Structures are given as structure tokens and as C-alpha cells.
């Protein structure tokens, strides 16, 4: 499987590893066995190295006659032919979910910083009861030369 974005490669690799592990659950015993590997399978001999380059690894499904008997053939062919779209959909959804969580986290950190800002009304007083304005680093540089 090939992906253009480096984030997609990482998410797809993780997704495919979990996909292979999920088959071991009790409810999925009748699904075709699958394996994932970073190296290409041995079956495609004589194929150019460029055609076998994949940055997210290779997924291999083992299809038995019971998976293609009767009307199961259409469903099996459809599932195999749309597998890349299935993985890509879940990778993009995961990326969107992570971005949403990161945005939410940044917003909460900004709110915490806003709560920590001192109020303008409670500015410090000098010994002569004159208030002074706190200057930032940028303001102190421009005012020190005037």
C-alpha cells in the first residue's frame, strides 16, 4: 500500500497491524486469514521493483473455496477490490479525529493562559501610589532607547 503523506503512512501502518490482530477475535473466525508485512510477498516474481514499492507495507489475504462459494464470490471480490479505499477512509478519519483533539487541547491551553493573565485593574502601585504599566520584552526594547 502506498500513501503520499508521512502521517498517513504511520497511521496506515498502525491500522493494518491492528486489522491483522482484530481477526483473532472470536467473532471474526470465519473471515479470510490475512497478514501484514513491510516486505513484499514472494509470489509476484518478475515484477519490477518500482511496482512492488510500498511505504505502508503489504497485506496478504488467504481466500479459501468457502469464501467464494455461491453468492459469497461477489461480496469477497468487492471487499478485496475496495480494501485500499477502506484503509484510506479509516486513516483519514483517524487523522481528522486527532486534529480535532489537538485543536481542542490547544483551545483549553489558551483558555488556561487567558485565566492566568493579570487583570489590568489590579496593576501594581509604586510607593507614591502611582501605578505603572508592565512592559513586555518588545516594549522594553523600544522604550529604552527613547
CATH for 61:
3.30.1460.20
Residue-wise pLDDT tens digits, 41-73? 878 777 887 777 788 888 889 999 988 998 889
Inside any domain, residue 133 = no
The values of phi and psi at residue 126, to 5°, are -85, 180
Inside any domain, residue 134 = no
Inside any domain, residue 48 = yes
Instruction: Give the pLDDT band (50/70/90) at residue 138.
Output: low
Inside any domain, residue 137 = no
Domain count, the chain: 1
Inside any domain, residue 56 = yes
Inside any domain, residue 121 = no
Choice between 112 and 144, residue whose per-residue pLDDT is larger: 112
Q: Helices (H) and strands (E) in the chain — how many of each?
A: 4, 2
- The percent of residues above 90 in pLDDT, for the chain, comes to 30
Q: Distances from the Cα of 43 to the Cαs of 2, 20, 91, 108, in angstroms?
A: 19, 20, 27, 52
- Please give the residue range of the domain that contains residue 78: 6-114
Inside any domain, residue 138 = no
Inside any domain, residue 20 = yes
Residue-wise pLDDT tens digits, 70-89? 888 999 999 999 999 999 99
Q: Count CB atoms within 10 A of the CB of residue 29.
A: 8
Amino acid at each position: 500500500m502506498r500513501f503520499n503523506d508521512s502521517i498517513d503512512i504511520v497511521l496506515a501502518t498502525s491500522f493494518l497491524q491492528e486489522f491483522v490482530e482484530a481477526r483473532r477475535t472470536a467473532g471474526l473466525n470465519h473471515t479470510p486469514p490475512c497478514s501484514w508485512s513491510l516486505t513484499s510477498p514472494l509470489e509476484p516474481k518478475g515484477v519490477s521493483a518500482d511496482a512492488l514499492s510500498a511505504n505502508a507495507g503489504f497485506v496478504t489475504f488467504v481466500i479459501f473455496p468457502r469464501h467464494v462459494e455461491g453468492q459469497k464470490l461477489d461480496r469477497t471480490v468487492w471487499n478485496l477490490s475496495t480494501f485500499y479505499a477502506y484503509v484510506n477512509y479509516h486513516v483519514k478519519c483517524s487523522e481528522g479525529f486527532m486534529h480535532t483533539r489537538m485543536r481542542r487541547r490547544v483551545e483549553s491551553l489558551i483558555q488556561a493562559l487567558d485565566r492566568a493573565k493579570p487583570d489590568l485593574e489590579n496593576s501594581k502601585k509604586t510607593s507614591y501610589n502611582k501605578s505603572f504599566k508592565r512592559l513586555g520584552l518588545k516594549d522594553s526594547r523600544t522604550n529604552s532607547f527613547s
